[in-house]
A and B are shown apart, each in its own frame.
Chain A
Amino acid sequence: MKNIKKFGAVSALSLIIGASAAFAENIKIAFVDPLSGPFATTGTNGAAEWTFAADELVNKAGGVLGGRNFEVVTFDNKMSGKETLIQVQVAIDQGIRFIAQGNSSGIAAAITDAVNKHNKRNPDDRVLFLNYSAVDPALTNEKCNFWHFRFDANADIKMDALTDVMAKDQGLSKVYLIGQDYSFGKAVAAAAERDIAKKRPDVEIVGNELHPIGKVKDFTPYARKIVASGADSVITGNWGSDMVGLGKAIIEAGFEGQIYTYYAASNGITRTFGEDGKGHLNLVHEGKLNPPVSDRASAYIDAFEAKYPDHDISQARIANAVEMLAKAIEVAGTADDVVPIALALEGMEHDSIWGGKVFMRPEDHQAIQDVHIGAHTDENIRHPLDNSAFGLSDDVTVEMASMDSPTTCEMKRP
């Protein structure tokens, strides 16, 4: 009798737990990026943006599928390919269906490959790869697959937008290309060379060089060369301390033209350039911060800054990724089978919180969106970066950049 009572109690309890779990089980997103080591700043900033976007844009709005919340689970990949694959496997074993990663295209390539294989072998627990930052064009060209979605504009698209804007400048005559000696630096230089030759054949490329990544102690000699070449514009894909070192040296050497960059903002860079960078530094990116696009966007940024005073909205696309995923899950009516979710994401047109539209191109899963050229300044900055007075003023916009750019992707759908 006693045993039956006990049994009854236990089974009732387990039923309650099971039911409540089924009712409000969180939809988990695995965030796999460096959270320790030299690249931890970017990683922790990304994690903060993901967590905040999930809470603010989805959970506070009532969740998806009638009340299920998004939960961002962070995994530290220590910026190593091997560690990444282990962490991705751990995430999959925990039943997580969505992998978010962005730092380093090399690691993104490893994940897209691993996810593709996993989905082939395990058709019952397939996963999606949400790439929010890795911009190597190959990921949506020869290395593309159905499970990978890129929310950032890739390096070619950014260069296309940048050279569109540069080409309109009639004063432009000499351009200097300099970058870090690895795949991304080379990709930027190649794209710049190609686009400038096509759009402004009269513009001369007076320098095209690569320097060892993270090894240059003093950028002054490079800066001297750039000034001596008579260049009026510099294009660089440098990031981190290589960006700060190069930029500061060029400006200090007396350079009077414009420096076009991919990554010269946030993570201490904006603050370090300060007054010196004004009138020189430009950054090509998606996601407009200044002038503010809407009260909603401003409120979002203010709330983020209040919650994470040491971080910035430096990767605006994360908000798009979260909202688009939520929408796709609603359309698919499931958070477990990723095939209908992926099909819903394909071709999705989304009204971004940052203004404009985001279109997920079905043929290669590359998000097409407005790309801006932001100037580093302290004038009319409503949302500064790095707790400084400076920020990016996005005055030049290329709408739906590279909408009809070609792709070599041959998408295989399940």
Chain B
Amino acid sequence: MDLVLVNLIDGLVFGLLLFMLSSGLTLIFSMMGVLNFAHASFYMLGAYFGYQISTVLGLGFIGGLIVAPVIVGVAGAAIERYGLRRVHQYGHVPELIFTFGLALLIQEMVKLFWGQNQIPYFEPSYLDFALFSVGDNAIKAYKVFMIFISLLIFGGLLYVLTKTRIGMIIQAALSYPQTVEALGHNVPFVFMGVFGVGSALAGIAGVIAGPALGTFPGMAFTLGSIVFVTIVVGGLGSLWGALVASLLIGWMTTFAASYNIEMSSILQGIGFIKPEDLSESAFQDLWTLTLPQIGPILPYLLMVLILVFRPQGLLGKRES
């Protein structure tokens, strides 16, 4: 029972982290129709900038948390304004290639400046203690801090998008860009703003995930694919969908990793007979499979199922 509670907390932390990445990506996608491959790279930049600002420049962790996302956001906006917008006129494929190239470029730049190795980016000492324990399992204060920051951001985003005038314009620009433009709003500027804010969100995620999950040049790659899965499962353009899908995937991978359910017991449960000598069996791998082994690919399985049975995603509105 203790383990269930601990896993719920751990899954929540990871899910909310995914949400910070996917919320920005899903807004950018629904607005510009471009899958931004470089989104996870902004997350990585956030972590590296956070490290640089907090330790090398000596502004402390909070300094990094405030300054790094701003830099990442400005960089994102500049990339949209001077890169993506120019490529936009040639269609979606060049845009895709542009963001893909950008992701590779950022990865190489990071290696050039900070090297191949994992860098020593740690939690601030004042959050580096066990806040409480469930059974023998310690829950660190930093995890609670991560939950707190993520919820704060979700609340803020929700408020801005649904309750303010800016949010109304953004929502309108999502579905009827021409009309919004005709009403005198600067739609390209809105796009640039959304891209910048989306990048900044990824930057925040990087700053707070860097110490917890490790800051190394492969971090964008390991998290990048799962973020796409999240927005497809949640429904493209839906903030609530991104939240639901992130939490679902967070809990799914966490629980899958912590319970050693064996494939052989499932197979035997549904009536198959386990072969005496597995080394002779053609399905040897299938029989010896356990849930933690396949845990990390479960989200992809979920995505396939969603695409087959509910292509618009869990909370998506549009059919396309």
Contact = CB atoms under 8 A, between A and B. Distances in A.
Interface of A: 38, 40-41, 181, 207, 209-212, 214-218, 220-222, 224-225, 227-228, 230, 241, 244-245, 248, 252-254, 267-269, 271-272, 274, 310, 386, 388
Given A215-B222, A224-B6, A268 B213 contact: no
21 contacts: A41-B116, A209-B260, A209-B290, A215-B222, A215-B297, A216-B296, A217-B213, A218-B10, A221-B11, A224-B6, A224-B7, A227-B137, A241-B214, A241-B216, A241-B218, A254-B133, A254-B138, A268-B117, A271-B120, A386-B117, A388-B120
B257 interface: yes
A267 B14 CA distance: 27
A212 B293 contact: yes
Interface string B109-147: 000000111111010000000100101111010000000
Given A38-B218, A218-B253, A224 B10 contact: yes
A37 to B, nearest CB: 10
Interface string B170-184: 000000000000000
Contact of B223 (A40, A211, A217): A217
Contact of A181 (B136, B217, B293): B293
B293 A211 contact: yes
Nearest to A44: B116
B54 interface: no
B214 A224 contact: no
Interface residues of B, number: 42
Contact of A40 (B7, B116, B296): B116
Of listed A216, A221, A252, A310, residue having the most chain B CB within 10 A: A221
Interface in B134-176: 135-138, 140
B79 to A, nearest CB: 25
A280 to B, nearest CB: 14
A228 B117 contact: no
Nearest to A181: B293
Contact of B254 (A40, A221, A228, A267): A221
Nearest to A310: B115
A308 to B, nearest CB: 14
Given A227-B136, A241-B118, A254-B138, A214 B258 contact: no
A215 B292 CA distance: 12
A267 B216 CA distance: 12
A245 B214 contact: yes
B61 to A, nearest CB: 16
B104 interface: no
Contacts of B133: 254
Given A214-B222, A224-B3, A252-B140, A244 B118 contact: yes
Of listed A41, A220, A248, residue having the most chain B CB within 10 A: A220
Contacts of A310: 115
